[in-house]
Structure 1
Amino acid sequence: MKTLRLLHRWTGGFVGLLLALLGLSGALLVHEDAFLRATVPHAADAQRQDTASLAAAATKIFAAEDRPRSIVLATDRLGLHKLAYKSERGAYADQDGNIVQSWTSNWARPEAWLFDFHHHLFNGDAGEIVGGVIGLVGLGFVATGLILWWPTRRLFQFRPWPKAAKRAAIVHHHRDLGAWVAPLLILSLTTGAAMNLKWFSRALRAPFSPPAVVEAASAPPKVVGGKLAKDLDWAKVIGAAKARFPDAEARTIALPAKKGGLIQIRLRRQAEWLPNGRTVAWFDPADGRMVASRDALALPLGARIANADYPLHAAKVGGLPYRLVMTTSGLALALLGSLAVVTFWGNPSGLPRRRVARR
């Protein structure tokens, strides 16, 4: 038990602050749509999902000389289309296709750099892997913390904040807070690590579907597309996608990423939790002809479980009550991590300090 306590303390002293920042940034990102509705013009507009409106916006946006690579379409909580260009450049457009705000760096938009930190630690793919490993370390903290808390369980007190600014009170609060938020932390840390670490996600889903089966079912079609037509009929393309999946909402439109690529429209069927869905329709960019489609609800069980990671982690299901639950998880992680760092560096040994008698 002594070794476990030392491991918990010393590891927390070095990575606790990073876990705290990930928890705080995650709690803020849960409310990204509300922030945008309050600060960006047209963000509070009602969503329009009719084919004519979507096609008119796509036609106008992709007709621009510096057209984006993809469009994430407006939702019922955010009345803006989000445009993605090369590098960090992005923009918001109203549902008529007019640009209302644009930026060339993530630092120009608070929600953009906050997401970049939370998901990539400002370091792209390498930061994503580090973030996933930190998530696994966080799960280790939860497990060891519960073991260390168990002998003191009869002294449990439900407090959102330490009783006093003394080390003993902070340590007691740290243990009790970690115990009652443990289920939330396990959910957020597991889903976060699974999104960042492919091997961890495969390991979790292997009992439900072999990884090879999941990868084969999720692979894009092996079809070569033509050159993107200048006057592509977007009403025909979007209409065909919605006709293929009548209960679905069109969520993203992506142009071919390279020569021979296909136009990809992602849709979200009513039973899907993922906000942008995993149901896909592919089209030849030369003539707008549908060449393949994939129904997310027909994917192997392991893939369908994996598709729940992001909506559970980012509180994209369950409405306001669940957003508040995940906000609590993020703030609790921020408090646990920051107080762990404070108490550790205030007394790395963990031994009681001797009082010097005054003469």
Structure 2
Amino acid sequence: MKTLRLLHRWTGGLIGLLLALMGLSGALLVHEDAFLRATVPHAADAQRQDAATLGAMATRVFAAKDRPRSIVLATERMGLHKLSYKKEQQAAFADQDGNIVQAWTSNWARPEVWLFDFHHHLFNGDAGEIVGGVAGLAGLGFVITGLILWWPTRRMFHLRLWPRMMKRAAIVHHHRDLGVLIAPLLILSLTTGAAMNLKWFSQALRAPFSPPAVMEKASAPPKIKGGKLAKDLDWTKVVAQAQARFPGAEVRTIGLPAKAGGLIGIRLRQQAEWLPNGRSMAWFDPATGKMVASRDAQAMPLGSRIANLDFPLHAAKVGGLPYRLVMTVSGLALTLLGTLAVVTFWGNPTGVPKRRKPKLKVVAQAA
């Protein structure tokens, strides 16, 4: 138990601040759509999903001289389309008629963009994504060891949102009790976060349900060569074909071919899918606009379908406002736990209580 306690303390002291910042950024990102509706014109517009509107918008956007490579379409909670370009940090918001509302060429231009870049990539691309995933695994181990260490002291449990006093003993007591109380949510958020960042971890979790090779094959795009993108492509017809293939599904993204010979890809979210942008796909020949392949997310292997739940559970994209508030509490609790872990550790890295020096009594001598 002593070794476990040392491991727990040193882990918290070394990565506690990183976990605290990830918890805080995650709690803020849960409310990204509400922030955009309050600050960006047309973000509160009602969603339009008819083929004519989407087709006219796509025609206008992709006809621009500096056309985007993909469009993430408006949702019920956010009435703007997001355009992504070939340049990594170039993006824009467009209204549902295709008019550019805001554009930027740096992640630092939009607060929710750089906040996501930190939370998911630690401002360091793929390398930061791996580090964040490892931090999530460390945080998961931190929660598990904390539960083990708390068990012998369970009869001393007290529900407090803040330490009774800002002294080490009171902070440690509060840290243990709050950690136990919020542990199920932390396990959920840390596990799903690590699974999204670390492919091997995700595959290991799903392996009992579906072999990794089977999941990889099910997610692979079709090996079909497309023609050159037609200048007069009928985007309304393209969108209508996708909607006919998946009746009642929400059209979520429209993407141009990434390279010569590639296909146009449209992602859709069926009602049974929790993932905001769905995993159902329809592919089209860029030269003719004819649908050449499709993929039903509901027919994917069980392991893949379970993996598709990671993001909506992690980012509170299901469950409405109640679940968003629950995940906000989880993020803020992680912020508090991580911060106080760092404070108590670096205030006394050894963990040995400091002994007070006895006060010397001065005895007056008789003259």
Give TM-score, length-normalised by structure 2. Answer: 0.97
Which structure 2 residues correspond to residues 1-359 of structure 1 after superposition, within 5 A? 1-85=1-85, 86-358=87-359
Measured in 2, the distance between the counterparts of 1:114 and 1:161 equals 27
Measured in 1, the distance between the counterparts of 2:337 and 2:316 equals 21
Letter in structure 2 aligned against 1:7? L
SS at match of 2:261: coil
SS at match of 1:280: strand
Which contiguous aligned blocks of 4+ residues in structure 1 show a shift greater than 2 angstroms? 356-359
Report deviation, 1:352: 1.0
SS at match of 2:38: helix
Report deviation, 1:357: 4.2
Letter in structure 1 aligned against 2:5? R
SS at match of 1:251: strand
Measured in 2, the distance between the counterparts of 1:144 and 1:227 equals 57
Measured in 2, the distance between the counterparts of 1:285 and 1:124 equals 31
Q: Deviations for 1:93-122, whole angstroms, at most 9, x for unmatched residues? A: 000100001110000000000000000111
Report deviation, 1:356: 3.2
SS at match of 2:304: helix
Q: Deviations for 1:223-242, whole angstroms, at most 9, x for unmatched residues? A: 00111111110001000000
5+ long unaligned stretches in structure 1: none
2:365 corresponding residue in structure 1: none
Report deviation, 1:351: 1.0
Letter in structure 2 aligned against 1:316? K
Measured in 2, the distance between the counterparts of 1:217 and 1:349 equals 51
Measured in 1, the distance between the counterparts of 2:359 and 2:260 equals 81
SS at match of 1:96: coil
Percent identity (aligned): 81
Letter in structure 2 aligned against 1:335? L
Measured in 2, the distance between the counterparts of 1:264 and 1:327 equals 34
Report deviation, 1:204: 0.4
Measured in 1, the distance between the counterparts of 2:346 and 2:135 equals 20
Measured in 2, the distance between the counterparts of 1:212 and 1:117 equals 31
2:364 corresponding residue in structure 1: none
Letter in structure 2 aligned against 1:38? A
Letter in structure 1 aligned against 2:247? P
Q: Deviations for 1:150-178, whole angstroms, at most 9, x for unmatched residues? A: 00101111111111111111000000010
Q: Deviations for 1:21-41, whole angstroms, at most 9, x for unmatched residues? A: 000000000000000000000
Report deviation, 1:355: 1.8
Q: Deviations for 1:174-225, whole angstroms, at most 9, x for unmatched residues? A: 0001001110000000000000111001000010011111111111000001
Measured in 2, the distance between the counterparts of 1:338 and 1:167 equals 13
Measured in 1, the distance between the counterparts of 2:185 and 2:49 equals 34
Structure 1 vs Structure 2 CA RMSD: 0.7
SS at match of 2:293: strand
Measured in 2, the distance between the counterparts of 1:139 and 1:230 equals 51
Report deviation, 1:70: 0.4
Letter in structure 2 aligned against 1:8? H
Give TM-score, length-normalised by structure 1. Answer: 0.99
